[in-house]
Amino acid sequence: MQGFTPVDPGYFVPNRFAGQVVLVTGGSKGIGGATSLRAAREGAKVVICDIDETAGRSCVDQIVAEGGSAIFCRVDVTKREDTKMMIARAVEVYGRLDVAINNAGVMDGGGSNVPAPLHLATEGYLRNTIEVNVFGTMNSCADELTYFVEKGEGGVIVNVGSVTALTGNPGTPAYVASKHAVSGLTRAIAIDYAPYGIRCNSVNMATTQTPMFDRALAVVMEKRASAPEDSNMVRKGLKSVGLIERNSTPWEQASTILFAASRDASNITGALIASDGGWTAF
């Protein structure tokens, strides 16, 4: 598609985050992994926080092999003691925190449950999705804000939302509700903490080629095969593509996230940035 060629995975802005410490939750793979890697290439010292220790340490190893600096913290964002720990660890190792990117999230309740219309949804899917996406983001923001306010030097928070934070979507009620909550949280933080020099924005993508998307697609295909009358999550009258008729890449989303996190976006706060290929434009 002429004009819509994805950003090169090897592209970065040299030294954009030189001297800064960037924390990324869900930072080991997919959008989070691409964000962690590119932030390090742009000069950041990166704190990768994830529940997947194997993937997290692998991401750290890649950054170090490229000459960057990173540490791993095993973090379950639903546990406040873990989100407090990740801030303490960043300060212990690197002496400060400048940017927090809250990317940890689930679409399917963490893989143990299947998304479904509300009257068919399991309690596990509903509760786990809300717990990770809403309370996990709140926990992370609360401890990041505590540090930024006490430090008194400002700070940046970028929350990773979804196109479903800006519109509806069939068959995933808890995910849609949770991402709308992230939108509201982002705006509330921007308002409350502007006097402290703290910016807060969200980045909201449509379908992106990540492990979470692969799991969701497998579930949809299985349901279509076993119960086609109940499983079609793209019904007549609903959009199937945006203006850019392809999935985005994790590197495209990392590019937008890091722009919002950088001083290039110094006049942007409270924004719900639609990095959705034009999905919400029509």
- Ramachandran class of 272: left when φ > 0, alpha when ψ lies in -120 to 50, beta otherwise: beta
Tell me, yes or no, whether 184 lies in a domain.
yes
Q: What is the pLDDT of residue 183?
A: 98
User: Is residue 12 a part of any domain in this protein?
Assistant: no
Assigned domain for 31 exists:
yes
Give catalytic status of residue 193 as yes or no. no
The answer to whether position 10 is within a domain reads no
Report the CATH number at residue 29.
3.40.50.720
Query: CA 202, 261, 129: angle at the middle one, nearest 5?
Result: 35
- Residue 151: CA atoms inside 13 Å, Cβ hemisphere, count? 19
User: Count of residues for the chain?
Assistant: 282
90 Cβ partners below 8 Å, 6+ apart? 21, 23, 47, 71, 96, 97
| Whole-number Å distance between alpha carbons of 36 and 103 | 11
Contact yes or no for 74/45 (Cβ under 8 A): no
**Regions in the chain scoring below 70 on pLDDT:** 1-2, 110-113, 211-236
What is the side-by-side strand order in the sheet with 198-205? 69-74, 45-50, 21-25, 99-102, 155-160, 198-205, 272-275
CA distance 46 to 74: 14
- Name the residue type at position 78: T
In angstroms, what CA-CA distances link 222 with 16, 52, 63, 115? 44, 26, 37, 12
pLDDT score, position 241: 87
Predicted confidence (pLDDT) per residue in 107-150, tens digit: 987 655 688 999 999 999 999 999 999 999 999 999 999 999 99
Residue 49 lies in a domain: yes
* CA–CA distance, 141 with 149 (Å, rounded to integer): 12
Q: Which domain holds residue 97?
A: 21-272
Q: Is residue 3 part of a domain?
A: no
Asked, for residue 13, whether it belongs to a domain, the answer is no
Whether 98 and 156 have beta carbons less than 8 Å apart is answered as yes
Question: How many whole angstroms separate alpha carbon 156 and alpha carbon 147?
Answer: 11
- pLDDT confidence of residue 232: 52
In the chain, the number of structural domains is 1
Burial class (CB in 10 A: 0-12, 13-18, 19+), 263: exposed
Residue holding tokens 């497998």?
218
The whole-angstrom separation of Cα 50 and Cα 27 is 6
Q: Is residue 80 part of a domain?
A: yes
Catalytic residue among 94, 125, 147, 175: 175
Q: What is the pLDDT of residue 222?
A: 56
Q: What is the pLDDT of residue 234?
A: 53
pLDDT recorded at residue 80: 98
